[in-house]
Amino acid sequence: MQTTSLFPATILHLLPEDVGKSVLSQSGVMLDGVSEIRLRIGRRVQLVGPDVFLPVVVEQGHLRHVLATLTRSSLYAVEAELRHGFITLPGGHRVGIAGKVVLGSEGGVQTVRDISSVNIRIAKGYHGCAKELAAALCKSRSTIRSALLFGPPSSGKTTLLRDLARMLGSGEAPFARPHRVTLVDERSEIAGSMGGAPQFDVGLATDVLDACPKSIGMTMALRSLSPEVVIVDELGGTEDALAVADLARAGVALVGTAHAGSVQELFARFEIMALARHEAIERFVEVSPTPRPGTVKQIYDRQRGEVKLWRG
């Protein structure tokens, strides 16, 4: 069936029979655009992307089926993942979970029980989507400029970052050779690691620090992995900024992302300002979700206290 190729087997395997049938009865063109399948108890199944609600109403049995398949009937085996609220599948797809959150004695999330919603996110790697960006960031054939990708949520920053890691790590043109890349993947989203092994192609010479807090990971990488480039998602707090400044002092390039709607919004943030002032980051890349996620809209640089449009 043509639709099966659009839908990874791991995901079809996860769906209860009637939901699976209902999904596959949709047209191929529409299925191609599906980015999430959402099951919420008592409500109809939603296909995010085309934003269609299927006629199947989700019952407890459906969620139990998904959960049993997902955890291989062993909830304890995915306890750590449940604490973060999602489970990664082979192929980098991930399943987000919502329900009653049980707190542990130390105040952290112990587990999620009475699961009420399941969000199956279909991973789509866009091989080669960072080509243009790589060309812009390439300083000479062997080095890359430190850069910060920014844009609104789901504008494709992580996808770009992943492809950039692959190109750098594998030494794909414009890079002359494989770079030692360390990927600090706090949310296991860039590499989609499962049992430690990256599920996406993140490059030949790329090391992944999976589920590692960003600031700790950046320092760890610097000490033990001797990276040439560190790649990290969603820079935020002051500790992150300090770690980035450390990297810059050590001459390690950094490529990261940050949530921001516009360049003004980005520079309104204190820690980003600090990074720019220390020249730890040379380029600021505005990523736009239109016309399609991962579109590079503008590239800025910041010199002499001014934000300027940069032309390569």
Partner 1 sequence: MAWVIAKWLGAAALLTGAAGIGFEFARKYRKRPLDLRELMAALRMLRNDISYGRLPLPDSLAEIAAHFPQHSGTRHVFAMTAHRLNAAGTEAGEAFVDALRQNSECWSLHEEDLNALRQFSHTMGATSAELQAAAITALLGELSDREREAVAERDRFEKVYRTAGVLIGMLLVVMLW
In whole angstroms, the minimum distance from the beta carbon of 66 to partner 1 comes to 8
In whole angstroms, the minimum distance from the beta carbon of 107 to partner 1 comes to 17
In whole angstroms, the minimum distance from the beta carbon of 65 to partner 1 comes to 4
Nearer to partner 1, 195 or 312 (CB): 195
Nearer to partner 1, 2 or 73 (CB): 73
* Amino acid, single-letter form, for residue 300: Y
In whole angstroms, the minimum distance from the beta carbon of 69 to partner 1 comes to 5
The Cα–Cα gap between 210 and 200 comes to: 13
What H or E segment, with its residue span, contains residue 273? helix 270-277
* Lateral strand order in the sheet of 306-309: 206-210, 181-185, 229-232, 253-259, 147-151, 283-288, 295-303, 306-309
3-state DSSP call for residue 246? helix
Nearer to partner 1, 68 or 173 (CB): 68
The Cα–Cα gap between 224 and 45 comes to: 47
In whole angstroms, the minimum distance from the beta carbon of 67 to partner 1 comes to 9
CA-wise closest residue to 255 among 293, 286, 281, 236: 281
CA dihedral 59, 122, 287, 143 (to 10 degrees): 150
Q: Is 39 exposed, middle or buried (0-12, 13-18, 19+ CB in 10 A)?
A: buried
Interstrand relation of 229-232 and 181-185 (parallel, antiparallel or unpaired): parallel
In whole angstroms, the minimum distance from the beta carbon of 92 to partner 1 comes to 20
Nearer to partner 1, 67 or 144 (CB): 67
Beta carbons within 8 Å of 172's beta carbon, 6+ residues apart = 134, 166
Length of the chain counted residue by residue: 312
| 8-state DSSP, 132 | H
Nearer to partner 1, 16 or 156 (CB): 16
Nearer to partner 1, 76 or 312 (CB): 76
190 C-beta neighbours (distance < 10 Å), count: 27
The answer to whether 280 touches 256, Cβ cutoff 8 Å, is no
In whole angstroms, the minimum distance from the beta carbon of 73 to partner 1 comes to 4
Nearer to partner 1, 81 or 233 (CB): 81
Residues that bind partner 1 in the complex, under the rule CB under 8 A: 13-14, 16, 64-66, 68-69, 71-77, 79, 110-111
* Amino acid, single-letter form, for residue 41: I
In whole angstroms, the minimum distance from the beta carbon of 77 to partner 1 comes to 5
